[in-house]
Amino acid sequence: MEIICVGNELLIGKTLNTNGTWLAKRVTSLGLTVKRIVVIRDELDEIAETVQETLRRKPDFIITTGGLGPTFDDKTLEGIARGLNRRLEVNEEALRMVRQKYVAYLEKTGKTEKIELTPPRVKMATLPEGARPLSNPVGTAPGVITEVEGTFIIALPGVPPEMEAIFNESIAEIIKQKAGKSSFFETSIYVEEIMESNLAPLIDTVMHHNPHVYVKSHVYTKSIAQLEGGRSYIELHFSTTADNPETARDRLDKSASELSELVRKNGGKIRT
């Protein structure tokens, strides 16, 4: 799985890339691994080249976020089409979805004006050849899915509630089917009075003894810890992927217990 986040606003620091974080966590929880997240500009050549480069690695899924709306800088679908060497075409199902959204909006507001499918509105229903739309439960622009030699390319809106709703309604089950029985499990312990450099060899030892568990340390500095009314501490995050919860719990409990004991033996304390 690879994720491509499209938007100049992400690269100038105006908007925090919460979509990338949300997708990574959600995909991981469903049992697949995110190998790469990239952020690129709203430029056709940049989008096309990034799609082509990503496809060369043959991931099972490529998810893009951003750039599906009606404005001039919403270029993701045109960029994907260019990268795939496909034509853009008005998709009748997508056009029906867009029309229904505007009809519902007028009915809700009590307006009686005629729905006009202006070029910006038709733009949201103009998809790469062979792609199909995905219903957007909370917004106007449909999501889009297409397949290229075994890789699913999924384009989602950049507005977080819309992106999340389409993913949960249309994409999560596809990813779960690909992952099979595999699911992601995690736990954490928190330690004090030991430096991260002293933790490093202890983590290495535990990971060597528990090859199916990944352990990562996260330092919470004094300034952050003070907000919680305490001293600096380190989170030790344990994660594993397994076919059943019992196996996962056994792995996590064993590795967390072993590392806790090593921390104590080396002068640290477990934070409670």
**Nearest 5°: phi and psi at 207?**
-65, -30
**CATH superfamily, domain at 2-179:** MoaB/Mog-like domain (3.40.980.10)
Rounded CA separation 157/31 (Å):
23
Q: In this predicted structure, what is the pLDDT of residue 224? A: 46
pLDDT at 156: 98
Query: Is the pTM above the cut of 0.95?
Result: no
pLDDT at position 230, please?
56
Query: Up-side HSE of residue 122: CA atoms within 13 Å toward CB?
Result: 7
User: So what's the pLDDT on residue 256?
Assistant: 96
* CATH class held by domain 183-270: alpha beta
Q: Which residue has the tokens 């919470």?
A: 220
Residue 8 CB-half CA count within 13 A? 7
At 168 the pLDDT is 97
Q: Give residue 106's pLDDT.
A: 84
**What pLDDT score was predicted for residue 225?**
45
Q: What is the mean pLDDT of each run of 10 residues along the chain (272 residues)?
A: 97 96 95 96 97 98 97 96 98 96 85 84 97 96 97 98 97 94 91 92 96 92 51 90 91 96 95 78
Q: Look at residues 22, 34, 29, 33 and name the one whose alpha carbon lies nearest to residue 184.
A: 29
Domain boundaries, the chain: 2-179, 183-270
Q: What's the confidence (pLDDT) of residue 115? A: 82
Strands 36-40 and 2-6: parallel
